[in-house]
Homo-oligomer: A and B are copies of this chain.
Amino acid sequence: MLKMSTLFLRTLRDDPADAEVASHKLLIRAGYVRRIAAGIYSWLPLGVITLRNIERVIREEMDIAGFQEVHFPSLLPRDAYETTNRWDEYGPALFRLQDRKGGDYLLGPTHEEMFTLMVKGEYSSYKDLPLSIYQIQTKFRDEARPRSGIIRGREFVMKDSYSFDIDDEGLEISYQSHRQAYVRTFDRLGMKYNIVKAVSGAMGGSKSEEFLAPCPTGEDTYVLCPSCGFAANVEAMVTKVPAQDFSKVAAFEELDTPNTPTIDSLVAVLNEKFGGGFTGADTLKNVMMMADGKAISVLVPGDREVDVKRLQENLSGVHELRVFEDADFAKFPSLVKGYIGPQDAKKSGITVYADPRIAPGTAWVTGANKKDRHARNVVNGRDFTPDSYVEAAEVRAGDACPECSTAVIIDRAIEIGHIFQLGRKYAKALDLTVLDSNGKSQVVTMGSYGIGVSRAVAAIAEQTHDEIGLNWPVELAPAKVHIVAAGKDDLLFDTAIELATKLEAQSITTMVDDRRDASPGVKFKDAELIGNPVIVVVGKALAEGNVEIRVRKTGDKKEVPLTSAVSAIAELLK
Contact = CB atoms under 8 A, between A and B. Distances in A.
Given A68-B7, A97-B96, A114 B42 contact: yes
User: Interface SS of chain A: helix, strand, loop or mixed?
Assistant: mixed
30 contacts: A7-B68, A8-B68, A8-B122, A8-B131, A8-B133, A9-B122, A34-B118, A34-B121, A36-B73, A37-B77, A37-B105, A40-B73, A40-B75, A40-B76, A40-B77, A42-B70, A42-B71, A44-B70, A47-B71, A49-B69, A73-B155, A74-B138, A75-B95, A75-B140, A92-B100, A95-B97, A99-B154, A100-B142, A107-B107, A127-B517
Interface string A31-55: 1001011001111110111010000
Contacts of A66: 6
A3 to B, nearest CB: 10
A278 interface: no
A87 interface: no
A9 to B, nearest CB: 7
A48 B76 contact: no
Contact of A99 (B10, B42, B47, B95): B95
Nearest to A143: B100
A123 interface: yes
Q: Which of A45, A75, A96 has the most CB of B within 10 A?
A: A75
Interface of A: 6-10, 31, 34, 36-37, 40-45, 47-49, 51, 66, 68-77, 92-93, 95-97, 99-100, 103, 105, 107, 114, 118, 121-123, 127, 131, 133, 138, 140, 142, 144, 154-155, 517
A114 B42 CA distance: 9
A551 B292 CA distance: 65
A454 B44 CA distance: 23
A144 B100 contact: yes
Given A95-B97, A140-B75, A70 B8 contact: yes
Contacts of A114: 36, 42
B72 A36 contact: yes
A499 B100 CA distance: 53
A71 to B, nearest CB: 4
B73 A48 contact: no
Contacts of A71: 42-43, 47-48, 51
Contacts of A77: 36-37, 40
Given A73-B36, A74-B74, A97-B95, A68 B45 contact: yes
Nearest to A122: B10
Given A8-B131, A36-B114, A95-B97, 19 more contacts: A8-B133, A10-B122, A36-B77, A37-B103, A37-B105, A40-B75, A40-B77, A42-B70, A42-B114, A42-B118, A43-B71, A44-B122, A51-B71, A73-B155, A75-B154, A95-B99, A96-B97, A107-B107, A127-B517
Contacts of A121: 34
A167 B154 CA distance: 38
Nearest to A107: B75
B72 A42 contact: yes
A123 B37 CA distance: 20
A99 B142 contact: yes
A416 B74 CA distance: 23
A1 to B, nearest CB: 11
Contacts of A127: 517
A6 B164 CA distance: 13
A203 to B, nearest CB: 22
Contacts of A8: 68, 70, 122, 131, 133
Most B CB within 10 A of own CB, among A44, A73, A127, A131? A73
Q: Which of A44, A93, A123 is most buried by chain B, counting CB atoms within 10 A of its CB?
A: A44
A34 B6 CA distance: 42
A529 to B, nearest CB: 15
Contacts of A69: 45, 48-49
A118 to B, nearest CB: 6
A67 B517 CA distance: 23
A133 B6 CA distance: 11
A444 to B, nearest CB: 14
B42 A74 contact: no
A105 B37 CA distance: 10
A306 B72 CA distance: 41
Nearest to A119: B8
B45 A70 contact: yes
Contacts of A99: 95, 142, 154
A520 to B, nearest CB: 20
Nearest to A6: B66
Contact of A42 (B7, B49, B73): B73
Contact of A10 (B76, B93, B123, B138): B123
Q: Which of A37, A76, A517 has the most CB of B within 10 A?
A: A37
